[in-house]
Amino acid sequence: MKIIVCIKQVPDTAHVKLDPVTHTLKREGVASIINPFDLFALEAALRLREEAQGSIHVLSMGPPQAAEAIKEAIGYGVDEGLLLSDRAFAGADTWATTAALAAGVRMLGGADLVICGKQAVDGDTAQVGPGLAQRLGLPHVAFVKGWRECAADHLVVERQMDDGFDLVRLPLPGLMTVVREVGEPRPPSLKGKMRAKKYEVPLAGAAALGLGEAEVGLAGSFTQVVEVFAPPASGQRQMIEAPAEEAGRLVIDHLVRDQIIRLGS
């Protein structure tokens, strides 16, 4: 089974701080990490390779420093990587991102299975996986939390829904996006780390992918950000200043008064 995993390098949002005065993000010294959900995608790929043999390629679109994310993935034990990097890719929305990633998948000669994370923690869109599947003409299942069967021509996967889960047969070639439940990422191996150190990440720009400037980056995007602002402070806030027990009783009284809690049935 040939697997391509799409990974994105993102700022470690756990350490992004909001400047209380200017309401802008302070990213000074904030490390870049592999999108946490993509680590689950990598783990799923590694488990599938153990089950069905084959190879794993990682694909990423990003600035030159995203090569670090690919090297890190090599450390986890993937076989090869490819970084799509070009000034022209800047400002890409999910439509322009999937244009580049689809070209990247084709450059790698396609795959039996493409795996994406559920969503990237910087944009939180969860759109790239399903969009990429459509671009590649592949069926997809999103929010996969595990699989029951893994055969040469199909997988049977568990798809997380809001009210439970569905068991879905995904024919291959196909694409899936995965959630945390597929498995905790293993630590990188020593052997992998050694290989990562020396690994030279192959690079491809728009021209090499056969993409024109109008198809990628901001120029190739349908959506535009027109405003960025601080989240509004939420409505009336009230600290209940009283000793613990008294405060507990008071808050219930407030909630009953506000008709948030109903006493009758």
Partner 1 sequence: MALLIDKQKCSGCGACVEACPFEALSLADDKAQVNEACTLCGTCVDVCPEGALAVEEVTRAADDRAATSRGVWVFAEQRDGVLPEVVAELLGQGGRLAADLGVELSAVLLGHGVSGLAGELFALGAQTVYLADDPRLQYFNDDLYAEVLARLIALHGPEVLLAGATALGRSLIPRVATAAATGLTADCTGLAIDNQRRLLLQTRPAFGGNIMATIVCPLARPQMATVRPRVMKKAQRQEGASGRLVTMNLEAGLAAATQVLEMVRSLGEEVNLTAAEVVVVGGRGLGKPEGFDLVRHMAQELGGVVGATRGAVDAGWIGHAHQVGQTGRTIGPKLYIGLGVSGAVQHLVGMQSSEVIVAVNSDPNAPIFQVATYGIVGDLYSVAPAMLARLKELRG
Ligand X SMILES: Cc1cc2nc3c(=O)[nH]c(=O)nc-3n(C[C@H](O)[C@H](O)[C@H](O)COP(=O)(O)OP(=O)(O)OC[C@H]3O[C@@H](n4cnc5c(N)ncnc54)[C@H](O)[C@@H]3O)c2cc1C
In angstroms, rounded to a whole number, what is the distance separating the alpha carbons of residues 92 and 219? 8
Residue 121 CB, nearest distance to ligand X (Å)?
Answer: 5
The answer to the question of residue 35 lying near ligand AMP (CB under 6 A) is yes
Residue 131 CB, nearest distance to ligand AMP (Å)?
Answer: 8
What residues numbered 102-121 form the site for ligand X, per CB under 6 A?
121
Residue 185 phi, psi dihedral angles, 5° rounding: -60, 135
Considering only 14, 167, 230, 250, the residue that binds ligand X (CB under 6 A) is 14
Residue 79 CB, nearest distance to ligand X (Å)?
Answer: 27
What residues numbered 48-67 form the site for ligand AMP, per CB under 6 A?
59-62
Residue 174 phi, psi dihedral angles, 5° rounding: -155, 180
Residue 26 CB, nearest distance to partner 1 (Å)?
Answer: 7
Residue span 62-91 as binding mask against ligand AMP, x where in contact by CB under 6 A, dash where not:
x-----------------------------
- The three-class DSSP label of residue 147 is strand
In angstroms, rounded to a whole number, what is the distance separating the alpha carbons of residues 179 and 37? 7
In angstroms, rounded to a whole number, what is the distance separating the alpha carbons of residues 257 and 252? 9
What residues numbered 94-133 form the site for ligand AMP, per CB under 6 A?
94, 97, 101, 116-117, 119-120, 123-129
In angstroms, rounded to a whole number, what is the distance separating the alpha carbons of residues 265 and 262? 7
């390779």: which residue's tokens?
Answer: 49
